[in-house]
């Protein structure tokens, strides 16, 4: 499939829209806080300081959220680990994002769909996120509303569809009608090479930097999809193209190999058993002395701000992601490397409840910390951490 000048112009316009959306976010946040009533503001302050409000579950709605405090490496560590605080942080960040930004993005409310459904599928925050994502997909897939910048763009539609399918598995065990229609739709947008050519590539690793992430995310979702969706003609043809893409485009870094390993836990014939073992061994070999992992051991991404990457410190994204992948791939929670990773997560939670990861693109918002927190919560849940029934 060739790329026309018009296509390139559209991609550039989407990148500029994405950047301008981020640049105006802070001023919109300030305006929101300024006009929010005092009790709601105090809920946001409590969450930003890592203190869960007494009625956190009842308060979890888009109207009752405020933008999380600026993500910073200088945020102090929590006095003690709290799984509840981590979940509260994600609730606020994800619901606030969908309320203000009106889109689905992998790093914040997208991965939240998979995470919250795994931790407490019947919770109010999970239901709100699912309702928003269904409506988002309905607008652009079923009602055919034209895309506007990042809203309705293919990477958002593909990732929202895949993550909603994963949420369906964990929440109801059935494929939602809108999820099914959206899955059928994304196959029509897949090119013959097996990827989504219009996937935004704006040097925001690891999600918006190449085609590989979207391919493996869809493989993971469709492989797990209930109601034998993977056996439908549309899915069979789409999976044939996905496997063709993966055969013709071997992983170029360890993050891609880890995503392929994760996809192989649900989707057949994407990674041979010996390659699975090799990837597990390589991931374990990159574990640092403190029990964590460093993001840039997973990919040699170049920054856009001219600064040096931190290639030595363990961080929340790499540690949460790798720990979760290893657990899903069959490494036992009782194995020493997993125990050390869990210990790192429990001793490196920040006061707000999140885990910090420096943006691999440029210093600024560090939204990858949201994704890292989601993976950390899923890793801890997979290792046995649970919310108390009264907290869900």
- DSSP class per residue in 111-142: HHHHHHHHH-TTSHHHHHHHHHHHHHHIIIII
Beta bridge partners of 350: 77
User: What residues in the chain have per-residue pLDDT under 70?
Assistant: 1-63, 390-392
Q: What is the pLDDT of residue 193?
A: 97
Number of domains in the chain: 1
Residues of the domain holding 230: 5-391
Spatial neighbors of 8 by CB under 8 A, at least 6 apart, are: none
Q: pLDDT > 90: what percent of the chain?
A: 73
**Which has the closest alpha carbon to 66: 348, 358, 315, 352?**
352
Nearest CA to 114 out of 375, 390, 391 is that of 375
Alpha helices in the chain (DSSP H): 5-35, 38-48, 56-59, 83-101, 111-119, 124-137, 154-171, 177-189, 212-224, 233-248, 254-264, 273-285, 316-328, 336-347, 368-382
Cα 33 to chain center, whole Å? Answer: 26
| Closest C-alpha among 124, 131, 112, 106 to residue 60 | 124
CA 69 – CA 282 distance, rounded (Å): 36
Predicted local distance difference test score (pLDDT) of residue 18: 43
Nearest Cα neighbor of 207 from 167, 168, 150, 156 is 156
Instruction: Give the C-alpha separation, 62 to 127, whole Å.
Output: 12
CATH of the domain at 381: 1.50.10.20
Give the pTM.
0.84
The predicted pLDDT at position 107 comes to: 87
Q: What does the block give as tokens for 271? A: 């990674």
Distance between CA 5 and CA 286 in Å, rounded? 42
The burial class, CB within 10 Å (0-12 / 13-18 / 19+), for 243 is middle
Residues 293-327 as b/e (b if ≥16 CB within 10 A, e otherwise) read bbbbbbbebebeeeeeeeeebbbbbbbbbbbbbbb
Q: Which residues make beta-bridge pairs with 204?
A: 208
CB 190 within 8 A of CB 241: yes
């Amino acid at each position: 499939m060739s790329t026309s000048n018009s296509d390139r112009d559209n991609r550039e316009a989407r990148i500029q829209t994405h950047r301008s959306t981020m640049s105006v976010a802070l001023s919109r946040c300030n305006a929101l806080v300024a006009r929010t009533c005092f009790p709601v503001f105090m809920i946001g302050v409590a969450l930003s300081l890592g203190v869960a409000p007494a009625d956190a579950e009842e308060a979890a709605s888009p109207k009752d959220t405020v933008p999380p405090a600026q993500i910073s490496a200088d945020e102090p560590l929590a006095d003690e680990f709290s799984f509840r605080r981590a979940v509260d942080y994600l609730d606020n960040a994800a619901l606030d994002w969908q309320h203000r930004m009106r889109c689905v993005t992998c790093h914040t409310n997208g991965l939240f769909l998979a995470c919250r459904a795994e931790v407490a599928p019947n919770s109010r925050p999970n239901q709100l996120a699912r309702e928003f994502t269904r409506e988002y997909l309905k607008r652009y897939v079923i009602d055919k509303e034209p895309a506007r910048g990042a809203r309705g763009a293919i990477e958002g539609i593909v990732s929202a569809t895949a993550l909603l399918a994963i949420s369906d598995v964990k929440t109801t065990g059935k494929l939602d009608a809108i999820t099914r229609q959206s899955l059928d739709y994304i196959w029509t947008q897949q090119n013959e090479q097996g990827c989504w050519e219009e996937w935004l590539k704006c040097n925001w690793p690891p999600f918006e930097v190449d085609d590989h992430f979207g391919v493996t995310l869809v493989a993971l979702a469709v492989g797990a999809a209930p109601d034998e969706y993977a056996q439908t003609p549309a899915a069979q043809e789409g999976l044939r193209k996905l496997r063709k893409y993966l055969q013709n485009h071997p992983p170029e870094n360890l993050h891609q190999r880890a995503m392929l390993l994760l996809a192989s836990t649900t989707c057949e014939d994407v990674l041979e058993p010996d390659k699975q073992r090799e990837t597990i061994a390589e991931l374990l070999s990159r574990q640092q002395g403190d029990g964590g992992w460093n993001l840039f051991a997973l990919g040699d991404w170049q920054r856009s701000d001219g600064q040096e990457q931190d290639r030595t410190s363990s961080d929340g994204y790499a540690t949460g992601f790798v720990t979760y992948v290893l657990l899903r791939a069959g490494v036992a929670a009782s194995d020493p490397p997993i125990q050390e990773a869990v210990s790192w997560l429990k001793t490196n939670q920040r006061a707000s409840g999140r885990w910090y990861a420096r943006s691999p693109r440029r210093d600024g918002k560090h939204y990858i910390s949201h994704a890292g927190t989601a993976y950390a919560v899923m890793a801890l849940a997979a290792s046995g951490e649970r919310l108390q029934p009264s907290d869900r």
